[in-house]
Amino acid sequence: MDKSALHSALIRQLEADLDLQTRAALTSRDEAIDEESKPENKYDMHAQEAAYLAQGQAKLVAELHETLSHYRTLEMATFTPATPIAVGALVTLRAPEGTERHYFVGPKAGGLEITQAGSAILVVTPASPLGRQLIGRRQGDSVLIPGKTGAIPQQIAAVA
């Protein structure tokens, strides 16, 4: 898998998310300050609810700006089988039955999923349970993935 293409795809997805969230924040801000949002009586909470929503949307926009900044400055280092996994690593885990899943250890945006070359790549952060297990490990090591019937050991099949 091409890490530079993955990096570009992550940035494009974050930019699209930022654009969508910015428009939502502006819409909720406009609703919060609209003349029709003024309370009609002391029990009317519409204006307060709209203000809370606008505040939350603005916070999400700020977080996305920060996340995008982290990804734009992220150096996509090359990892070898002997290199310890760190932020910027593309990791392939192999389950005992042979299925493989791909993970990108990112600085932020855990849970974001990108499809590249027909494979889904899930972003995990060093703060996530899986990310904590991956950091410092090497190709050939094993990690435990929580499953319905308990933890499932998976081998680190590749690191790029």
- For the chain, the domains span 3-72, 90-159
pLDDT given at position 75:
92
- 74 vs 43, higher pLDDT: 74
What's the CATH number for 90-159?
Answer: 3.10.50.30
Percent residues over pLDDT 70 in the chain: 93
Q: How many residues does the chain have?
A: 160
Distance separating alpha carbons of residues 146 and 126, to the nearest angstrom: 17
Total-model pTM: 0.86
**Taking residues 20-48, what's their average pLDDT?**
77
DSSP state of 36: G
- How would residue 155 be classed by pLDDT, with cut points 50, 70 and 90? very high
Nearest Cα neighbor of 95 from 160, 146, 159 is 146
Q: What are phi and psi of 59, to 5 degrees?
A: -65, -40
pLDDT given at position 4:
92
Q: Which of 20-29, 40-49, 95-104 has the lowest mean pLDDT?
A: 40-49
Sequence-separated (6 or more) residues with CB below 8 Å from residue 141: 155, 156
- How would residue 43 be classed by pLDDT, with cut points 50, 70 and 90? low
Q: What is the pLDDT of residues 126-146, one digit of tens each?
A: 999 999 999 999 999 999 988
pLDDT given at position 102:
97
- How would residue 54 be classed by pLDDT, with cut points 50, 70 and 90? confident
